[in-house]
């Protein structure tokens, strides 16, 4: 059975910095999410905010409010935000200490490691709870340098990259994974950030916490683990940031380490400036495609839309324009599903047709 969990996402649920909470509400194979804490949206249903339809997961005003309403104390307390500063505020610290007092295990996605904090560890020992620092890397002696083994992988590898951080690369990856599984394929998913790991990805590493020397080697190692243990029909690699991003190098490591045979690019057409860098304009979808294809030996085979601040008509108009201009399939997987992406993947890798199970369409 899944462990139960309560997510802390004060003033950020449904927003860019609430992407960990947003992702867990959309998909969590590891935890049963009982609610989200965000006093600015108390009383609402999380599904209404993310998908305009109820999912039965409520929003609470505080930890105390949640514990008064829920029938039992959740197993886990998950910090559900990914702020650019990546460190706790004092009031958040007190909330986490209180959660431990209630007997809740702590799941921490920040760069600030709670297991290196004397007060947190004292509370964990006193109240017999566990703390998981999702981003905490292995010891350097256990990290991997690039070996070149990935060059011998015959299984198709598809990377889902983007034009900025927090544009939905992971969401599209997970939805595509499910769609391909429904077709009868054995799919291996490689998570590259904290949210994918918390969601329950079997393979992956939070690469933005690694020393740069080990970026490509750690991605390669996760691809090889999946390849050797699962014998998958296809491997999907989650992107981080953007190759063009002036502050992040994650996409570089992902491309070099996984050596994708094809790339899908996620883009928010209405976003004018980079999410955490408002003084930097967004790249165009064409410029990002050109950069990816010049940086790597691969092709961008499809574009997916992040529909933030867009109407349904605007989404359809952008899809039509992009397909005309870029000459590749374009879709919004949250609005229109994955049919175009699945068809594109089968067209790009014809051998996958032989993998379809009998009776699966």
Domain extents for the chain? 3-133, 142-355
Read off the pLDDT of residues 302-312 as tens digits, 9 standing for 90 and up.
999 999 999 99
Coil, helix or strand at residue 242: strand
Say if residue 127's pLDDT is above 70: yes
- Read off φ and ψ for residue 335, nearest 5 degrees: -95, -35
Determine how many CB atoms are found less than 10 A away from the CB of residue 172. Answer: 28
- pLDDT at 88 (0 to 100): 87
Q: What is the CATH number of domain 142-355?
A: 3.40.50.300
Is pLDDT above 70 for 334?
yes
Q: Where are the beta strands (DSSP E) in the chain?
A: 3-8, 31-37, 59-60, 76-79, 105-108, 131-133, 157-162, 187-191, 203-204, 234-238, 262-267, 273-274, 277-281, 300-305, 330-331
Q: H helices then E strands: how many in the chain?
A: 13, 15
Span 29-85, pLDDT tens digits: 999 999 999 999 999 999 999 988 999 999 999 999 999 999 999 999 999 998 766
Residue 86's pLDDT band (cuts 50, 70, 90): low
Q: Are 3-133 and 142-355 equal in CATH topology?
A: yes
Q: Which of 158, 219, 225, 230 is closest to 193 using CA atoms? A: 219
Residue-wise pLDDT tens digits, 172-187: 999 999 999 999 999 9
Query: What is the chain's mean pLDDT, rounded?
Result: 95
* pLDDT of res. 62: 97
Q: Which of 84-88, 92-96, 146-150, 230-234 has the lowest mean pLDDT?
A: 84-88
Instruction: Give the mean model confidence (pLDDT) for residues 83-112.
Output: 91
Whether residue 209 contacts residue 246, with contact meaning beta carbons closer than 8 Å, is answered with: no
Confirm or reject CATH 2.160.10.10 for domain 3-133, answering yes or no: no
Among 241, 157, 128, 122, smallest CA distance to 193 is for: 241
Q: What percent of the chain has pLDDT over 90?
A: 92
C-alpha–C-alpha distance, residues 246 and 257, integer Å:
20
pLDDT at 355 over 80: no
Spatial neighbors of 100 by CB under 8 A, at least 6 apart, are 77, 106, 120, 123, 124, 127, 129
Which residue carries 């690039």 as its tokens? 146
User: What pLDDT sits at residue 82?
Assistant: 83
């Amino acid at each position: 059975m899944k462990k139960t969990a309560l997510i802390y996402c004060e003033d950020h649920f449904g927003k860019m910095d609430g992407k960990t909470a947003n992702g867990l509400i959309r998909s969590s194979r590891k935890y049963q999410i009982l609610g989200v804490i965000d006093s600015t949206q108390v009383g609402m249903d999380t599904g209404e905010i993310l998908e305009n339809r109820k999912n039965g997961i409520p929003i609470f005003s505080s930890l105390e409010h949640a514990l008064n309403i829920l029938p039992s104390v959740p197993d886990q307390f998950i910090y559900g935000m990914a702020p650019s500063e990546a460190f706790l505020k004092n009031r958040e610290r007190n909330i986490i200490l209180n959660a431990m007092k209630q007997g809740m295990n702590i799941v921490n996605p920040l760069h600030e490691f709670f297991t290196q904090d004397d007060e947190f560890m004292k509370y964990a020992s006193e109240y017999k709870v566990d703390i998981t620092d999702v981003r905490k890397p292995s010891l350097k002696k256990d990290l991997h340098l690039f070996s070149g083994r990935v060059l011998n992988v015959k299984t198709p590898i598809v990377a889902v990259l983007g034009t900025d951080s927090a544009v939905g690369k992971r969401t599209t990856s997970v939805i595509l994974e499910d769609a391909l599984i429904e077709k009868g394929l054995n799919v291996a998913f490689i998570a590259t950030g904290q949210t994918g790991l918390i969601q329950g990805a079997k393979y992956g590493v939070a690469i933005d916490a690694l020393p740069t020397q080990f970026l490509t080697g750690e991605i390669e190692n996760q691809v090889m683990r999946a390849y050797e243990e699962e014998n998958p029909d296809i491997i999907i690699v989650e992107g981080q940031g953007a190759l063009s991003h002036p502050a992040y190098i994650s996409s570089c490591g992902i491309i070099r380490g996984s050596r994708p045979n094809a790339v899908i690019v996620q883009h928010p057409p209405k976003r004018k400036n980079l999410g955490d860098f408002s003084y930097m304009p967004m790249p165009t979808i064409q410029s990002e495609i050109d950069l990816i294809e010049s940086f790597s030996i691969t092709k961008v085979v499809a574009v997916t839309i992040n529909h933030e601040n867009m109407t349904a008509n605007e989404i359809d108009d952008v899809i039509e324009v992009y397909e005309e201009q870029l000459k590749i399939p374009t879709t919004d997987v949250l609005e229109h599903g994955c049919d175009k992406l699945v068809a594109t993947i089968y067209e790009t890798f014809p051998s996958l047709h032989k993998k379809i199970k009998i009776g699966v369409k």
